[in-house]
Structure 1
Amino acid sequence: MIRRVILALTVVAGTCAGAQELTERIGATTAAQELRVRSTTDLDVLRPVLERFLDTRPGTAILYEQWLSNNLYRRSVTECEAGTPGADLVISSAVHQLVEFVNRACAASHVSEATARLPPRLSWRDELWGITREPAVIVYNRDLVPPEEVPRSRFDLLDILRNAPDRYAGRIATYDIEASGLGFLFAYADSLEATTFGGLLEAFGRTGAVATCCSAEIMAGVLNGDYLIAYNILGSYAFDLAEENPDLGIVAPSDYTLILARGAVVPRGARNYMMATQLVDFLVSTGTQDTLRRANLHIDLDALLEKGAVPDGTGASQLRAIELSPKLLVALDRHKRLLFKEVWQNAFSQD
């Protein structure tokens, strides 16, 4: 598993300024039709689900392109504005960008029994659907962080950084909100939810916390000891990695835990609209959700309790779902975004 993370890091490092991170065709070489899927999800994670989808469709193959979220959003919008067919299905963790994509009238509509069963917070305009349930977690190195210093909440993390600033100087990591659409979304959601947000930014700045682009890079750094603690990391990748690397500790913060539903949209003008909507129905179906649960892409309260990421007695009210709704458009308002980035940059540029 660690080899997979290091490989992903190598691929990302070579392509951050370019287009997709990787492209792979899945399915029979003789397949007559091809479905182009562009996604921010690591292919290794989603491959079993896609292969199950293709099992009953021998005449179809999937051309899978793995992208960084900001690059995927820009490419999708450019193709929409030009009227140029691109992906048949777009899947992204940066769901605020997908809400904006739908709001630009760039997505096609689809209604089915499967999508109608989704709760309102996981569907918008019959054009955007939430296909996963993934927490934002704190990860830490079990060998290097004493048990009494493991942060179980944001308040704990603040106390640790105040009480032991030298030990954690330069050894706290989180997503760079300019390089990572997901990182921006989590930080923005924190600014709305947490009374601790300003204090955390101040503490990050004071202790020289590191902001970087990618889950793979951050967790590899935690495992090799470059970082001791990482904040707001996508739990699906963290739990997947921890299964083969017990040195990686994971905490779902007890004050509240953000829950992300990775979103899917069918771009307007998709060449293979019918097959794309079939894949949407497949992804939100009960059977596939069970498969996603085994792949750590569907992590509910029961799963968090089972994995020991939250203490017994944790209630559902402590899980805060990021709704797929127009509320996320505020996150992309140009003026608000610039102000938010300025606050963030001021914290991370401190000496």
Structure 2
Amino acid sequence: MTRLFALLLAMAGPATAQEAVTTFQAGDVLPATVLAVRSTTDIDVFAPVLDAFVSANPTVAVRYEQWGSNALYAVTRQACDAGQGSIDAVISSGVHQMVDLVNRACAQPYVSPLTQALPSARRWRDEIWGITQEAAVTIYNKDLVPAADVPHSRFDLLDLMRRRPETYRNRIATYDIEASGLGDLFAFMDSQQATTFGGLLEGFARVDAVATCCSAEIIAGVASGRYLIAYNVLGSYLVDDISDRVGVIAPQDYTLILSRAYLIPESAPHAALAARLLDFILSARGQAILADSRLVQPASADEQPLPDSARRPIPIAPTLLVAMDQARRRIFVDTWRKAFGDDR
């Protein structure tokens, strides 16, 4: 496949706008239509399924824009409010933000045998669909974390932060919930699921844990030894070439399973093609390609398998609207800031 116009825009700090754009097309034939997709998924991770799609649909090119989740939500909502837009499909790991967009009548419906075959927890109102299955894992540096310290559950992590605060001071990382919509979603789900959430915040404060924006940055930090442990990291971004340095734990108390959300904006110029891409992604071939890219993954780990009872899929459902409530969010963010030593 031919990829044109790869513009990697280096940005300082959390993403506030478009980060990169690549156009996928089959061969050198000028396509009849360009399908515009905005997504939070790294281009390199999503490229194989888009290459396969344009190969199967050679008259269609895909212009793929990579965005940060908060910026993607903002620009999509702005286009919706204005009643106009040029984007055909939106894909985001900030699932609560996507549910909010659907609730604001920013998406259009689509039904096919493939969308209907999804579990109810991975579709809502026939306007939003979960296309991946990715585990939120704990990772650690294999060379620097003793086996006795490896936390196989949140209870283990709590105990570790209480027993050895000096060893792990500034060496435990997680997402910044203000910079990362994904991190905000994971923290919200923890607050709903776990009796350990308050203790985790207390523990993070005790060891001066680091909150930062991005999966790739956190994983690279653990691989290099800058961080010793990282909590609630999206396991799909772990790559083979760091597996000898980075260990992976699916927490045994429960492991969150994310399905990235796909919606077709109400103003999409090429809605039928966006639906065709959705069906391709949900097809057996599309899911196999996503599995090869780690976007469909079993919730397993290096050390021990995860029992089905510990899997906690994040539902694509109106219950996530609670996470978008502004009054609740102000309280939640204030509590988070205090745990990470930021009282702005």
Q: Shared topology, TM-score over 0.5?
A: yes
Q: Which residue does the alignment assign to 2:3?
A: none
Q: Which residue does the alignment assign to 1:19?
A: 17
Q: Which residue does the alignment assign to 1:253?
A: 251
**Deviations 1:145-165 (CA, angstroms, capped at 9, x unpaired):** 001101000000011111111
| Residues 1:323 and 2:321 aligned together | no
The 1:225/1:110 distance shift into structure 2, 3 A limit, reads same
Looking at structure 2, the residues matched to 350 and 81 of structure 1 have their Cα atoms a distance apart, in angstroms, of 33
Looking at structure 2, the residues matched to 17 and 293 of structure 1 have their Cα atoms a distance apart, in angstroms, of 27
**Deviations 1:204-260 (CA, angstroms, capped at 9, x unpaired):** 01110000000111111111111000000001012xx24544101110000000000
1:342 to 304, 312, 334: 334
Instruction: Tell me how large the CA RMSD over aligned residues is.
Output: 1.7
Secondary structure in 2 matching 1:38: strand
**Deviations 1:1-31 (CA, angstroms, capped at 9, x unpaired):** xxxxxxx9x9564374542100111104511
1:86, distance to aligned residue in structure 2 (A):
2.7
Amino acid at match of 2:20: L
Amino acid at match of 1:143: D
Amino acid at match of 2:274: A
The 1:219/1:17 distance shift into structure 2, 3 A limit, reads closer
**Contact 2:128–2:263 (8 Å) recurs in 1:** yes
**Deviations 1:105-146 (CA, angstroms, capped at 9, x unpaired):** 000100011101011000000000000000100011000000
**Contact 1:137–1:253 (8 Å) recurs in 2:** yes
Amino acid at match of 2:22: E
Secondary structure in 2 matching 1:63: strand
Q: Which residue does the alignment assign to 1:202?
A: 202
**Contact 1:54–1:60 (8 Å) recurs in 2:** yes
Q: Which residue does the alignment assign to 2:40?
A: 40
1:195, distance to aligned residue in structure 2 (A):
0.9
Q: Which residue does the alignment assign to 1:159?
A: 159
Q: Which residue does the alignment assign to 1:3?
A: none
Q: Which residue does the alignment assign to 2:222?
A: 222
The list of structure 1 runs, each at least 4 consecutive aligned residues, that deviate by more than 4 angstroms after superposition, is: none
Amino acid at match of 2:277: L
Segment of structure 1 superposing worse, 85-94 or 17-26: 17-26
**Contact 1:205–1:350 (8 Å) recurs in 2:** no
The 1:18/1:199 distance shift into structure 2, 3 A limit, reads closer
The 1:294/1:278 distance shift into structure 2, 3 A limit, reads same
The 1:12/1:189 distance shift into structure 2, 3 A limit, reads farther
**Contact 1:173–1:209 (8 Å) recurs in 2:** yes
1:291, distance to aligned residue in structure 2 (A):
1.6
Amino acid at match of 2:219: M
Q: Which residue does the alignment assign to 1:281?
A: 279
Looking at structure 1, the residues matched to 12 and 277 of structure 2 have their Cα atoms a distance apart, in angstroms, of 30
Looking at structure 2, the residues matched to 256 and 245 of structure 1 have their Cα atoms a distance apart, in angstroms, of 23
**Deviations 1:275-316 (CA, angstroms, capped at 9, x unpaired):** 000011111112211221121111124xx1xx535x25x421
Secondary structure in 1 matching 2:178: coil
Q: How does 1:233-252 map to 2 (within 5 A)?
A: 233-238=233-238, 241-252=239-250
**Contact 1:76–1:86 (8 Å) recurs in 2:** no
**Deviations 1:69-115 (CA, angstroms, capped at 9, x unpaired):** 00000000000111121310000000000000000000010001110
**Contact 1:242–1:248 (8 Å) recurs in 2:** no
Amino-acid identity (%) = 50
Looking at structure 1, the residues matched to 214 and 103 of structure 2 have their Cα atoms a distance apart, in angstroms, of 27
- Structure 1 residue ranges without an equivalent (≥5): 1-7
**Contact 1:242–1:249 (8 Å) recurs in 2:** no
Looking at structure 2, the residues matched to 58 and 13 of structure 1 have their Cα atoms a distance apart, in angstroms, of 33
Aligned length: 335
Segment of structure 1 superposing worse, 79-88 or 249-258: 79-88
Looking at structure 2, the residues matched to 189 and 52 of structure 1 have their Cα atoms a distance apart, in angstroms, of 34
Amino acid at match of 1:335: A
Q: Which residue does the alignment assign to 1:150?
A: 150
